A and B are shown apart, each in its own frame.
Chain A
Amino acid sequence: DAGVIQSPRHEVTEMGQEVTLRCKPISGHNSLFWYRQTMMRGLELLIYFNNNVPIDDSGMPEDRFSAKMPNASFSTLKIQPSEPRDSAVYFCASSLALAGGGYGYTFGSGTRLTVV
């Protein structure tokens, strides 16, 4: 199993540009989560999906952020327009069932986003 795959690993973009982060969850997992990590705020949940349907997006900072899950094997997190304060590491995680099963979530390696 390749685990949760995120791309790109690193992204540097200029303020105002659109940024798209991608995630491929573990095959068979039916829940997907997007987290953001910064030094100041730690790990924060942005949004999660169950069976490709967004369940809770209350953690999405503002309208500049959007997430989609068009099918069970792919999700995107888009920031448009990007701002320097969006600089962070963005993690995607997946799990089997909303409960997370007995093994919790499996996280990807993250995308380090720098907005200059």
Chain B
Amino acid sequence: DAKTTQPPSMDCAEGRAANLPCNHSTISGNEYVYWYRQIHSQGPQYIIHGLKNNETNEMASLIITEDRKSSTLILPHATLRDTAVYYCIVRWNYGQNFVFGPGTRLSVLP
């Protein structure tokens, strides 16, 4: 599975959009980009995934660059409950398992 690079931490003001970047420059054509988050003391939670096109669901939007070497997870109106570690993972959709890196620790500030 391709490796990803994320900033170790970010801050965001409550009510503002949180934009979390992820670099995956060695991604291959059949690898998907997945995002999970882990709120303190809980298990990781699936957020969204995509291959080439931008994706949106009730939790977030995923923007993937045209060359697919990077992506951005957008939380449109961050709340205090969005404070968590966010993991960007690249893998085949029919691959083996998810390999979690250190992620980005997002702090939403009042």
Q: Report which A residues bind B (CB closer than 8 A).
A: 4, 33, 35, 42-43, 45, 48, 55-56, 91, 93, 98-100, 102-110
For chain B, the count of residues having a C-beta within 8 Å of the partner chain is: 19
Q: What is the bound-complex CA distance between A102 and B46, given in angstroms?
A: 10
Q: What is the bound-complex CA distance between A33 and B99, given in angstroms?
A: 12
Question: In the bound complex, do residue B101 and residue A106 qualify as a contact, i.e. CB atoms below 8 Å apart?
Answer: no
Question: Mind listing 15 A-B residue pairs with CB under 8 Å?
Answer: A33-B97, A56-B97, A91-B43, A99-B95, A100-B98, A104-B34, A104-B46, A104-B98, A105-B98, A106-B46, A107-B45, A108-B43, A109-B42, A109-B43, A110-B41
Q: Could you mark each residue 26-44 of chain B with 1 if its beta carbon is under 8 Å from any beta carbon of chain A, else 0?
A: 0000000010100001111
Contacts of A35 in B (CB 8 A): 100
Q: What is the bound-complex CA distance between A91 and B36, given in angstroms?
A: 15
Question: In the bound complex, do residue B100 and residue A43 qualify as a contact, i.e. CB atoms below 8 Å apart?
Answer: yes
Contacts of B46 in A (CB 8 A): 103-106
Shortest beta-carbon contacts, A-B, top 8: A107-B43, A104-B46, A43-B100, A99-B94, A91-B43, A107-B44, A45-B97, A103-B46
Question: In the bound complex, do residue B100 and residue A42 qualify as a contact, i.e. CB atoms below 8 Å apart?
Answer: yes
* CB contact between A104 and one of B41, B49, B94, B99 (< 8 Å): that residue: B49
Question: In the bound complex, do residue B97 and residue A99 qualify as a contact, i.e. CB atoms below 8 Å apart?
Answer: no
